[in-house]
Chain A
Amino acid sequence: MTTVPALEIRELRKVYATGVEALKGVSLSVQPGDFFALLGPNGAGKSTLIGIVSSLVNASSGAVKVFGIDIGTQREAAMRLLGLVPQEVNFNFFEKPFDILCNYAGFYGVARTEARRRAEEELRRAQLWEKAFTTARTLSGGMKRRLMIARAMMTKPRLLILDEPTAGVDIEIRRGMWRILREVNAAGTTVILTTHYLEEAESMCRNLAIIDRGEIIENGPMKTLLSKLDVEGFLLDIDGELPAELPHIEGIALHAEDRHTLDLEMPRAMHLNQIFARLDEAGIRVRSMRTKTNRLEELFVRLTGSKEAA
C-alpha cells in the first residue's frame, strides 16, 4: 500500500532550554484511520512529542508530517488537519463553553453561524449542553476534559491527538468518552491517545508505541505485542494461613502477598494442574484465583519497569 501516513515522525529530538533531553531521536508512523496508543511512564516524553506535532514546542531536529504535510515548512496547512486535546486544561476559565467552542472554531476560519451550529452539536454530544452558558470555571474536572474533546471536534480534524484525555475522570464518564472516541474513529478520524489506564489502550487501540526516556522501545500492533507475553500472573486466595516456608516449584515464581494471598507468576506453556498439585502437597488450599494484572500492564512493566523507580 502507498497510503500517506496520518502522522509520520522521523528522528525527532528535543533538548529543552534546561538541558533535559526529552526526545532522543524518535521515529514513528501512524496510518490513516488507526486508533493508536502512545504509552510511557511519567516524564517519558509523550507530551513533548505531542507538543512538537501540534507546533507548541519547537523540535531541536527531525521532521514531522501530518498527512504528508511537513509541519516545519507548511505549518498552517498541517495544523488545519489536526485536533488537539492537551494534558492540561487550557481554555479561558472566564468564558462560557459555548463561546470557547465558537471562538476556537473561529481561529480555524469556521464562519460564525456554522461555528454556533457545531458548538451546539458538540456540546450535546459531550453532554454539556446544560452548561453551555455558564462560566467554564464552574465545570467539574470531568466536564472540563469533555469540553476539551468537544472543542477539538469543532474543526472536524482528520487527526485527533489526545494527551491523557481520561485522567482523573470517573469510570462512567470515561466510558462515555470512549464511546465518543470510537464514534469519531469509526467516522474516519485517525486517533492517537496517551493514557495511564492501560485497559483503556488495550480495549480501544489497534496499534501502539511505548516510549521510555525519550526513546521508542516498542511499536506495533497491539495483538502482536501482547502475544509476545510469555508469562502470566495470578493472585490466589488461600484457605487459612500460608505456611512460613513456601514450596519451591521449578520455573515459577511464588511469593506471599499477605498471609492469605499468594502471588503466582508462570510461563504460559506450563499447566495450572501441575502447580495446584504441588500446592496441595504443601497443604495450601486455593479458594479462588484472579488474574493479577491486565496483560498490557504486564508488558508495560516488563518493558519499562526495570528502569523505572515507581
Chain B
Amino acid sequence: MSHPNLVALATITRREVTRILRIWAQTLVPPAITMTLYFLIFGNLIGSRIGDMGGYTYMDFIVPGLVMMAVIQNSYGNISSSFFGAKFGRHIEEMLVSPMPNWVILGGYVAGAVLRGLMVGVIVLGIAMLFTRVRVPHPFITLATVLLGATIFSLAGFINAVFAKKFDDVAIVPTFILTPLTYLGGVFYSVDLLPQWASTMTHANPIFYMVNAFRFGLLNDSDVSMTLAFGLMLGFVVAFSAFGLWLLKRGIGLRS
C-alpha cells in the first residue's frame, strides 16, 4: 500500500464507500424496500397463481433476476451520480490536477460502485433467502457474476456521467435503456416462453447473460452456457474499460 497510485486508488474507493454509507437511506435502503415489495407482490400474490416457471416456483425463479437487477442498477447509479456530481460540484478538478493516472481514477470509481453493487446484492439476496428456499449452490459463480455484472454497469454508468451535461442526462439513460434491457433480459420469465424472434433478440441483450449466469449460481440452472456468459461479460469489461480510459485521456467532458 505504499505506491502512490495504490494510495490514490484506495483514497477514491474509500471516499466512494464513505459516500455510500453516509447517504445510506438513498443507497442501501431503497433496494431492500423494492425487493421486499417485489417478493410480496410478484412472488406471493401473483406468483402463486402463475405456477411453475422453468421448473421452479415463480418466486424462486425470479430471485436471481431481481438480485442481479438491483446490483446492476445500484452500481450504475452509484458511479453515474457520484462522478457526475463531482463534475457538477467541480471537485472532479481535485483529481484532474493531481498526478493520478487515468486508470486510477476509473479504477477507484469502479471499485466504489462495485462495492455498492455487492452490498446491495448481499442485502437483497438476504431478503430473498428469507422469502424463498433459494440458497447458493455455486458461491464462486455467484460472486463472479455479481462482480463482473457490477463492473460492466459501473463502467457504463461512468461513460454516461462523462457525457452528461446536466442531472437529467444521468437519469435518462437508465430510464430509456437500462430498465427496458433489464425487464426484457429474462428477469421475470424464461426465454422458452417467448416466440422464436423474441428469444433471438433476447440473446443480444447482455443482461440476459448476467441473469442466467446468476441463475446458474443460485438455482443450478441456466438458459445459456457459462462459457458464453462469462466470455461475453469479460468482453464487455474490456471494451467498456478501454472506452472509459480513452474518454479520460481525451478529457472529453472533463478538460476544456
Task: Tell me whether B93 and A106 are in contact (CB under 8 A).
Answer: no
Task: Tell me whether B256 and A57 are in contact (CB under 8 A).
Answer: yes
How far is B113's CA from A79's CA once the two chains are assembled, in angstroms? Answer: 27
For window 76-97 of chain A, which residues contact chain B by CB distance below 8 Å?
76-77, 79-80, 82, 84, 86, 88-94
Q: Does any Cβ of A come within 8 Å of B195's Cβ?
A: no
Least CB distance from A25 to B in Å reads 19
> Quick one: closest B residue to A55, CB to CB?
B97
A residues in contact with B18, CB < 8 Å: 99
Q: A17-B256, A107-B8, A107-B11 are in contact. Are A77 and B99 (CB under 8 A)?
A: yes
How far is B94's CA from A239's CA once the two chains are assembled, in angstroms? Answer: 58
> Quick one: closest A residue to B108, CB to CB?
A107
Cβ-Cβ contact count across A and B, 8 Å cutoff: 82
Least CB distance from B24 to A in Å reads 14
**Complex partner residue of B94 from A55, A76, A104, CB under 8 angstroms:** A104
Q: Does any Cβ of A come within 8 Å of B4's Cβ?
A: yes
How far is B85's CA from A90's CA once the two chains are assembled, in angstroms? Answer: 12
Task: Tell me whether B101 and A76 are in contact (CB under 8 A).
Answer: yes
Q: Does any Cβ of A come within 8 Å of B86's Cβ?
A: yes
Q: Contact string, B7-20, partner A, CB cutoff 8 A, digits 1/0?
A: 11011101100100
Least CB distance from A252 to B in Å reads 48
Task: Tell me whether A108 and B98 are in contact (CB under 8 A).
Answer: yes
Q: A76-B99, A79-B99 are in contact. Are A109 and B8 (CB under 8 A)?
A: yes
Task: Tell me whether A56 and B96 are in contact (CB under 8 A).
Answer: yes
> Quick one: closest A residue to B105, CB to CB?
A107
Q: Contact string, B83-111, partner A, CB cutoff 8 A, digits 1/0?
A: 00010011101111111110000000000
Task: Tell me whether B99 and A56 are in contact (CB under 8 A).
Answer: no
For window 199-254 of chain A, which residues contact chain B by CB distance below 8 Å?
none
Q: Does any Cβ of A come within 8 Å of B175's Cβ?
A: no
Q: Does any Cβ of B come within 8 Å of A142's Cβ?
A: no
Q: Does any Cβ of B come within 8 Å of A51's Cβ?
A: yes
Task: Tell me whether A103 and B255 are in contact (CB under 8 A).
Answer: no
Q: Which B residues are closer than 8 A to A by beta carbons?
A: 1-5, 7-8, 10-12, 14-15, 18, 22, 86, 89-91, 93-101, 251, 255-256
Residue contacts A-B, CB under 8 angstroms, 16 given: A55-B96, A56-B93, A57-B256, A79-B99, A90-B94, A92-B89, A106-B8, A106-B12, A107-B11, A107-B12, A107-B95, A108-B100, A109-B7, A111-B1, A111-B2, A111-B7
Q: Which A residues are closer than 8 A to B by beta carbons?
A: 16-17, 51, 54-58, 75-77, 79-80, 82, 84, 86, 88-94, 99, 103-104, 106-112, 151
